Amino acid sequence: MSRPVTLFTGQWADLPFETVCIKAKSFGYDGLELACWGDHFEVDKADAEYCRKKNEVLAKYGLKVFAVSNHLVGQAVADRIDIRHKSILPDYVWGDGDPEGVRQRAAKEMIRTGEAARRLGVSIVNGFTGSPIWHLNYSFPPVTPAMIDEGYSDFASRWIPILDRYKELGVVFGLEVHPTEIAFDIASARKTLKAISNHPSFGFNYDPSHFGYQGVDYVKFIYTFADKIFHVHMKDVGWSEYPAEAGVFGGHTEFGTYGRYWDFRSLGHGNINFEEIIRALNYIEYKGPLSVEWEDSGMEREHGAKEACEFVRTVDFPSSSIAFDAAFEK
């Protein structure tokens, strides 16, 4: 059986929830991964009646929901808070902007997100964690190992209470491993799991687009963390074979700027080898959704979202239940 193909609504939060449902159905999707911004899934309103109505609208269009995602609030739990966070956080989480207060309110909101997810009927919350030490990457003066250790300890102290509550709820958290997060490649993902003693409620929302341009082995990530792949984002990225004006760090340019070394691309238009990803997911027996996170500065999004759904259905093939040469045994 093929895996369900869903659309992550984060890049569609400018549209009302029901409008996104109508469009997703017309594009060919099986369901949605609901973002916790816009009116798609509002944690502060998500009582039992609210969740019932959301599910009614989804059912009206023949859609299912497999996960909710709260990247924006999750980012503030363990981050170095500054004025940038005000634009992405609900007012009641930002409050007076005092950094420690923001972090504590964000942590409470992530617990409420898990509770709301259960009321909705899903057991996966995806998102970001933030990082107290991202600013120390490739830094000068040199960073001491103790400074990195302190950062992972701080991350763990803030996230373990959230994860403990998720365990009680029967919910898991999938970190989208990503630059600016506590885990951004295989090595830092290992450090992250060690810092939280491999907490059973913590794993990954796998997204290859954040690995390829860094030079990280995005297929090896699947095999390395086979039991921690809780959810999968299908997103492509293109990077240049040649030197560029703005390198891996982006040169303080906007996405889509000519001269960048890399940019996110609609599925099938970048460098990611999705066949090897599907083979790896089959090997680890991942049966969850393949969720399209559509981003491409150079393509109209409705065209891209429809094409992306078709791409995923084409590339997703079932694993074999027998050895190909078994017929020669008789």
Residues 193 and 177: their CA atoms lie apart, in Å, by 12
pLDDT band at 261 (very low <50, low <70, confident <90, very high): very high
For residue 107, how many C-alpha atoms fall within 13 Å in the half-sphere facing its CB? 20
pLDDT for res 182: 98
| Span 72-130, pLDDT tens digits | 999 999 999 999 999 999 999 999 999 999 999 999 999 999 999 999 999 999 999 99
Q: Where are the alpha helices (DSSP H) in the chain?
A: 17-27, 48-60, 71-75, 91-94, 99-120, 145-169, 186-195, 218-224, 274-283, 301-315
Q: How many CB atoms lie within 10 A of CB 35?
A: 23
CA proximity to 203, closest of 187, 185, 224, 225: 225
Q: What is the pLDDT of residue 144?
A: 97
Amino acid in the structure at residue 15: L
66 SS3 class = strand
Specify which residues 6 forms β-bridges with.
31, 291
Q: List, for residues 167-211, the tens digit of each pLDDT value.
A: 999 999 999 999 999 999 999 999 999 999 999 999 999 999 999
User: Looking at residue 56, which CATH number applies to its domain?
Assistant: 3.20.20.150
pLDDT at 328: 61
Structure confidence at residue 36 (pLDDT): 98
pLDDT at 322: 67
Judge contact between 160 and 194, C-beta under 8 A.
no
Q: Please tell me whether residue 238 adopts helix, strand or coil conformation.
A: strand
d(CA 283, CA 286): 8
| Residues 215, 237 contacting (CB under 8 angstroms) | no
At 324 the pLDDT is 62
Confidence of residue 270 (pLDDT cuts 50, 70, 90): very high
Q: Which amino acid is at 291?
A: S
Task: Give me the chain's average pLDDT, please.
Answer: 96
Q: Which 8-state DSSP code applies to residue 209? A: G
What's residue 32's pLDDT? 98
Q: What is the pLDDT of residues 217-259, one digit of tens each?
A: 999 999 999 999 999 999 999 999 999 999 999 999 999 999 9
State mean pLDDT over 287-299: 97
Domain that holds residue 304: 5-329
Q: Give dist(CA 296, CA 266) in Å, integer.
A: 5
pLDDT at 1 over 60: no
**Structure-block tokens of residue 142:** 């040199």
- CB-CB contact of 20 with 40 (8 Å): yes
Cα-based torsion angle of the residue sequence 254, 255, 258, 261 in order, rounded to the nearest 10 degrees: 110
For residue 220, list its beta bridge partners: none
Give me the pLDDT at residue 330, please: 60
Checking DSSP bridges between strand 229-234 and strand 236-239, what pairing results, if any? unpaired
Percent of the chain with pLDDT over 90: 95
Tally of domains in the chain: 1
The helix (run of H) or strand (run of E) holding residue 286 is none
Six-digit token string for 63: 């859609």
Distances in Å between the Cα of 123 and the Cα atoms of 13, 14, 44, 212, 287 are 22, 26, 18, 29, 14
Phi, psi dihedrals of residue 76, rounded to the nearest 5°: -85, -10
CB within 8 A of 125, min separation 6: which ones? 67, 68, 69, 70, 110, 113, 114, 117, 166, 171, 172, 173, 174
pLDDT band at residue 320, thresholds of 50, 70 and 90? confident
